[in-house]
Amino acid sequence: MFATTLAISLGGITASRHLHGDLLQNVLRSPMTFFESTQSGSLLNRFSKEIDSIDCMIPDGLKMMLGYLFKLLEVCIIVLLATPLIGLVLLPLAVLYVVFQRFYVVSSCQLRRLEAVSRSPIYTHFNQSVQGAEVIRAFGEKTRFIQSANQHIDTNQEAYFPRFVATRDRSVSGVKAGRVKVEKRRERRGESVGVRSDTLLLHMYETVPVFSSCRDELLKRSKPPVETLCLRTSKAAGDVAPTLSAEAKT
């Protein structure tokens, strides 16, 4: 456990450091047309929220995914050793597992995409408000700018709130499934098929969102900074492709 945590932490720190360095280098070398066509809030979002997600959320999600994977394998092995016939039920459960996972990943990715898209105008509006604070005060437009900022925040929360509610609903459903398992444990013996089946179902139910969330984080959180790295930068008389270190590629 200690070796796994240490390896994931060191790997995440190394990859994030090189990714941030390459990202900063390529943005600073970008032509002026890029800064004229790209909102400042989008750049701030890349260097703040997205990099923070790569630093914190992806290593934690990967560690959680490995933990749930071995936990699921442990439960499956125990159930199969105790009741080999339960293997006939595992195949339909695996099919349902894949179906629900795909549905969850698509929905979660769309919600995160909407949240990321609606977050950039918040940074852009804040940056423009700070730069033009004197003009805003001179013309007495503070109320309008405050209302505009609140509107941008509300738009961002509209995309964040459904994902937050889905997470809470998932937690409540897990608690209900655990309660059903405890009630059946009182009614039947510990070695009964029903209790073992409920245990397997509960662990698979808990694992589906974890795998999906980790996959979502790994793909979506690292995608925007990598897309920014693909920008063409100007050097001397012509454009050259940006360089990406081997550590950042990994």
Question: Tens digit of pLDDT for each residue in 78-132?
Answer: 777 877 877 787 778 778 877 877 777 777 777 777 887 888 888 888 888 888 8
Q: Is the pLDDT of residue 43 over 60?
A: yes
Q: Which segment, 42-56, 183-197, 214-228, is predicted with the most confidence on average?
A: 42-56
DSSP label of 234? E
User: From CA 219, how far away is CA 141, in angstroms rounded?
Assistant: 41
The tokens for 40 are 């400042």
The CATH number of domain 2-249 is 3.60.140.10 = no
* The length of the chain, given as a count of residues: 250
3-state secondary structure of 236: coil
Listed by start position, the domains of the chain span 2-249
Q: How confident is the model at residue 246 (pLDDT cuts 50, 70, 90)?
A: very low
Torsion sign (Cα): 231, 237, 238, 243: negative
- The pTM assigned to this predicted structure is 0.54
User: From CA 117, how far away is CA 158, in angstroms rounded?
Assistant: 12
User: From CA 14, how far away is CA 218, in angstroms rounded?
Assistant: 16
